[in-house]
Amino acid sequence: MTDNIELTHQQERAFQPQRLSAPRDFILPSIIGENKNNLPLLLEIGAGKGKHALGFAVRNADKHLIAIERTRNKFEAFAKLAAIQASPNLDAIHADAIAWTVHAIKPNSLAKIFILYPNPEQHNPNQQWLNMPFFEFLLSRLQVNGEVILVTNIEAYMDNAERQATKVWCLPNTRYTVATDSQRTHFEVKYLARGETCWELNMRKPEGYKTRFDEWQVGHISEDK
């Protein structure tokens, strides 16, 4: 793909980040402004009880993961385990991922984004991640050649995500079948133990990719270096 890629969806309704207030008790993680070791920054949306995030932090000391969970009881379980593990390369965040990302993440700063077993929103497909205007904003936070990893056990969800990634978001992508012995999340363990098929979609942001939010950020992170 070449410079000045024009996204199909840019003719559609745009996400409006300026309308979102910061989450309650919002605190900017120190890694956002003080990444002294220049670690690759990764984001997990919908971390649940933290199985993937905790394991990833242990196996990848050379990367820093910010893992967000909105549901209180799941986050509290995650936070307890994170406190015990005390990995310096993991931030556990209790917040709505959309508002938090708008107020915390700089443009072109994420090496990878994990969306593992999201709510399939079968009765409200407009809320599926790749159907949302917010997805354009999320891509603006991703570095060139950065990746979005989406995993689901719902074939229709994956079919739509693959179609949207290709036709709307113009992202090079590859679809995989998850190995039967994979154990990244509690959902993954459960689904595979029941003999269900799980799918992974790996999407990459190519050189020259443009969004309408490549220069947009809120004031409290605009002066951070």
Give the residue extent of every domain in the chain.
Answer: 40-211
pLDDT at position 4 is 47
For residue 132, which phi and psi values (nearest 5 degrees)?
-95, 140
Q: What is the CATH number of domain 40-211?
A: 3.40.50.150
Identify the segments of the chain with pLDDT beneath 50. 1-4, 223-225
b/e string for 115-128 if b means 16 or more Cβ within 10 A?
Answer: bbbbebeeeeeeeb
Q: Are 160 and 131 in contact (CB under 8 A)?
A: yes
pLDDT at position 36 is 74
d(CA 36, CA 34): 5
Share in percent of the chain as helix, strand, coil (round to 5):
35, 20, 45
Which amino acid is located at 163 in the chain? R
Which amino acid is located at 34 in the chain? E
Q: pTM value?
A: 0.93
Other CB atoms within 10 Å distance of the CB of residue 64:
23
